[in-house]
A and B are shown apart, each in its own frame.
Chain A
């Protein structure tokens, strides 16, 4: 578990203050407060439907908070007009749950499109960059495939390649391991770790796959469906044994190890 080594840096990359998320009058989560430090692999975890992906969508500006604010390196993202967020957005790379590759473009074109839009690079340089990014995720040679022609795991990796197109400071990954077989999922974890170590990116991951969580995370937030707020923050390995919140411990132990929480017990 390389991530467990203490590389806690000093500067907060992302700061979330008193964030309340709502769909209309329905409050999904309230009063979230956490920080993501540079080079963290930060996990957003919690039960199904608790608002993990919603939190991610708030972080990348696809939804506006009902209350509270999100800061990137001290700059207030929430207070910035959505039309003026270009400088923030260039620092993000996002991989969506299903990959969300643009289906009418080949893999190479998918990775190239952000580069064409945001840089002045000549076509040759873009081509080189694209094949480099695709080879980083183990997809060299697949440049001219369309998303419909490749497997689910490959789509996710292609999604990561596209997310990395602009060399972002922060990678957001939405359920990278979901729907993958254990080996592909493991390879994806290794990929994430190596990208973090070699590129120095900060990685924010939405997932509930415990194996992945313990393998790569060094920081996390647990969203509690019952109380509709954060259950705990911190290193998931520590939380498993030392969290003050029994729900968090139970979650991280897959419901086992604590006698009072049998799967069949009536809540």
Chain B
């Protein structure tokens, strides 16, 4: 090997025939930085009997990788036939260090099963698999909801054990810590509703009815739905990530072997905490949204006092309690979606990420679907 020149010569590979034997001639510098060359000469359908490396310069992993790939290609057995693992291609003529590397690489024959991925499934079987997966996840959901109810039973009869400190920490995380983002979003939503409504109502000289529009929209729908979506992204994701990494780290197994029911210990406090904090957050979001509307009203000439009185005349207890009523269900749905994904996460950090994504998607979907169901029910009941 000549290390004297700084200028790398281009790598070259060439098939040559010496009588009956096939020789692969390698020359030049084989260094990372350029693509490996095409082999020139008449390609044989067999592995080379010998190598010629007299003119070979410097080389790095490019060269052994190149040779190994060519050998594997030439060796490939006919379809259906088992690969012939006993014969090893001759390595004669390779420089000693290269010979050593090739010998090491060829020491254990390529595992025919490993790495060979099964055929990508056909479209029909994809549909089938997805159907089965959806059915399975419905089963899991049902089971999980049932277990939550059972755990709630344990809790009410005083048999469920979780640490009060954990519970208050979760409450702190779900409630007070969420206030800033809930404030911002509901204030903006209140303002947006007011802007949009005012632009239309002003045509009739009825700007004052902006108060009705904002009030009703906030307390019936927007306040609770926006809070639900915020909590899905914030708390649902946090539940999934926390429980998922606990699972990956065997912490949940450790709970089991110490005789704790992970469901009572981890899921129950989260569900209770969110079911308790969601209504409070919703009431708060409603108020802040109305304030946002009031600000816009003041800007377009509706005095705040008037705005407030108009709000009070339309937003009665029935309307105000509808949103709060829904918030209990949203809280349970978000907490269950988060916990279910966390508890069923796989045992790797990538799986925790997937679980978190699924938790957010599932809980936002649940919020919207439950809301539509309630909308239909309330319409039928005429409230």
> In the complex, A96→B253 CA distance in Å?
9
Interface residues of B in 84-140 (CB under 8 A from A): 85-86, 88, 103-104, 107-109
Query: How many A residues touch the partner, as a band?
Result: 20 to 34
Q: How would residues 250 to 267 of chain A score, 1 for a CB under 8 Å from any chain B CB and 0 otherwise?
A: 000000000000001011
Q: How many A-B residue pairs have CB under 8 A?
A: 60
Partner of B259, one of A89, A96, A101, A267: A89
Shortest Cβ distance from residue A183 to the other chain B in the assembled complex, whole angstroms: 26
Taking a contact as CB atoms under 8 Å apart, the answer to whether A94 and B257 are in contact is: yes
A113 at the interface (CB under 8 A from B): yes
CA A118 to CA B258, docked complex, whole Å: 9
Given known contacts A89-B257, A113-B258, A118-B259, A97 and B85 CB-to-CB distance under 8 angstroms: no
Give A1-24 as 1s and 0s: 1 = Cβ < 8 Å from B's Cβ atoms: 000000000000000000000000
Number of interface residues of B (CB under 8 A): 24
Task: Report how far A62 CA is from B247 CA in the complex, Å.
Answer: 13
Please provide the chain B residues from 362 to 380 with a CB less than 8 Å away from any CB of chain A in the complex. none
Is the CB–CB distance between B251 and A101 below 8 Å?
A: yes
User: Could you say which of A89, A97, A103 contacts B258, with CB atoms under 8 Å apart?
Assistant: A89
- Which residues 300-345 in B have Cβ within 8 Å of A in the complex? none
Contact of B251 among A57, A90, A103, A166 (CB under 8 A): A103
Secondary structure of the B side of the interface? loop
Q: What are the residues of chain A within 8 A of B103 when measuring CB–CB?
A: 264
Q: In the assembly, what is the distance between CA of A135 and CA of B203, in Å?
A: 79
In the complex, A60→B253 CA distance in Å? 10
Closest Cβ of chain A to B108, distance in Å, is 7
Question: Known: A96-B250, A97-B250, A117-B161. Contact between A62 and B109, CB under 8 A?
Answer: no
Shortest Cβ distance from B269 into chain A, in angstroms?
12
Q: Are B258 and A100 interface neighbours, CB within 8 A?
A: no
Q: Does residue B246 face the partner (Cβ distance < 8 Å to A)?
A: yes
A175-197 vs B, Cβ < 8 Å mask (1 yes, 0 no): 00000000000000000000000
In the A-B complex, list the 4 residue pairs whose CB atoms are closest, starting with the nearest: A100-B250, A96-B250, A100-B254, A264-B107
Interchain residue pairs with CB less than 8 A apart (30): A57-B253, A61-B256, A62-B256, A86-B259, A89-B258, A89-B259, A90-B259, A92-B257, A94-B254, A96-B250, A96-B254, A97-B250, A98-B250, A100-B251, A101-B254, A102-B246, A102-B254, A102-B255, A103-B246, A103-B249, A104-B166, A113-B258, A114-B259, A117-B260, A118-B259, A166-B258, A264-B103, A264-B104, A266-B108, A267-B108
